[in-house]
Amino acid sequence: MDETKHSPYALPHLAEIFDALRKGRHLCEEDGKLYQAMVQNLEDYKTLFFNLGFHLEVHHHDFVYFKGDNQLSDLARRMSVFMFILIETLADNSEDLSETLITRQFEMTDLPHFKQERYRAYMKMAGVDAQENLSNLLQRMKELGFIRFISEQHTFRFRTPVYRFLDICLDILRGTSSEGPAISDSEPQTQEDET
């Protein structure tokens, strides 16, 4: 018997990792021991989760998540609208989208989402019609691994899983979305109410 192979039940941090992923969290290098356990035992985790009915997706920007069923949840719609507005604003300012999203710190009060009538209308259609709802949305994005707060939920920065949104937005702008409605699996697979 190969001693280097793990029993599926002996995988490091299995319960923590499964719980996080099943709730829609995206794990990346910033998640320390959980992410390292995944990377070091990736094929074992993929096989185990596949046998449990989950598809572990590994993004080329080094993060992992459970890929869902391509139905866009309410939470995914809100996050997508939030990201489309931010990406459009950055693009209109001729900023490098990829670098800006990963390196900049954003102040909630400086976000463009309620500063133009068109953006306010988009946010309202997505169910985010007030600054408080925006705070709740950012909190959910933190829980799912897309952002990290720097100071008391007013300043935040994006984590590498934001590339999932960037890929989709750029595909849609090019008219070639490969992932379809995609961020559907960001909705926790529990009965929680999210905003």
- Please give the tally of structural domains in the chain: 2
Domain membership of residue 161 as a residue range: 74-186
Same domain, 116 and 62: no
Mean of per-residue pLDDT scores for the chain: 84
Residue 162 DSSP class: G
d(CA 169, CA 158): 16
pLDDT at 189 over 60: no
Question: Considering the entire predicted model, what is its pTM?
Answer: 0.81
Same domain, 92 and 178: yes
pLDDT band (50, 70, 90) for residue 68: confident
Q: How many CB atoms lie within 10 A of CB 140?
A: 21
- Does any domain span residue 195? no
Same domain, 128 and 101: yes
pLDDT at 103 over 70: yes
pLDDT band (50, 70, 90) for residue 171: confident
Same domain, 86 and 57: no
* pLDDT score for 77: 86
* pLDDT score for 71: 64
* pLDDT score for 8: 55
